[in-house]
């Protein structure tokens, strides 16, 4: 996700997650299944995002009944072949592969 205008604070990782201030020019990679929420006014920031391999977003809201189906879909998401920001010489995939046992798309 790239911030193209303004600034905001995100909550990443659910209720007990971290607060992250983002502003124009920042790029953040949010792995599948990581809860994220804008804590400020919606119109204070404009972000654009993309999904690897032609995938589309899959919105969930933490409501009862969303799981285990959401967990099953998350498990099917493959690690991208390259870092969407830096390309093939990437730190992202090296870090991701150390922490997640998934196949590469």
Element (H, E) at 37: strand 36-38
41, 20: one domain: yes
Give the range with max mean pLDDT: 2-6, 81-85, 96-100. Answer: 2-6
- Asked if residues 84 and 50 have their Cβ atoms less than 8 Å apart, the reply is yes
The residue segments making up the domain with residue 15 are 1-49
- The secondary structure of residue 44, as a DSSP letter, is G
38, 73: one domain: no
Average pLDDT over residues 34-47: 92
- Asked if residues 24 and 7 have their Cβ atoms less than 8 Å apart, the reply is yes
- Asked if residues 74 and 32 have their Cβ atoms less than 8 Å apart, the reply is yes
Contacts of 79 (CB under 8 A, 6+ apart): 93, 96, 97, 100, 102, 103, 104, 105
Tell whether the model's pLDDT for residue 58 goes beyond 80: yes
Average pLDDT over residues 61-69: 87
């Amino acid at each position: 996700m790239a911030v193209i205008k303004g600034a905001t604070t995100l909550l990443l990782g659910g209720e007990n997650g971290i607060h992250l201030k983002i502003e124009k020019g920042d790029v953040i990679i949010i792995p599948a299944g990581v809860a994220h929420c804008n804590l400020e006014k919606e119109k204070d920031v404009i972000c654009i995002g993309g999904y690897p391999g032609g995938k589309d977003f899959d919105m969930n809201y933490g409501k009862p009944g969303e799981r285990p189906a959401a967990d099953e879909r998350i498990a099917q998401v493959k690690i991208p072949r390259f870092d969407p920001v830096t390309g093939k010489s990437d730190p992202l995939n090296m870090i991701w592969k150390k922490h997640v046992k998934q196949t590469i798309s």
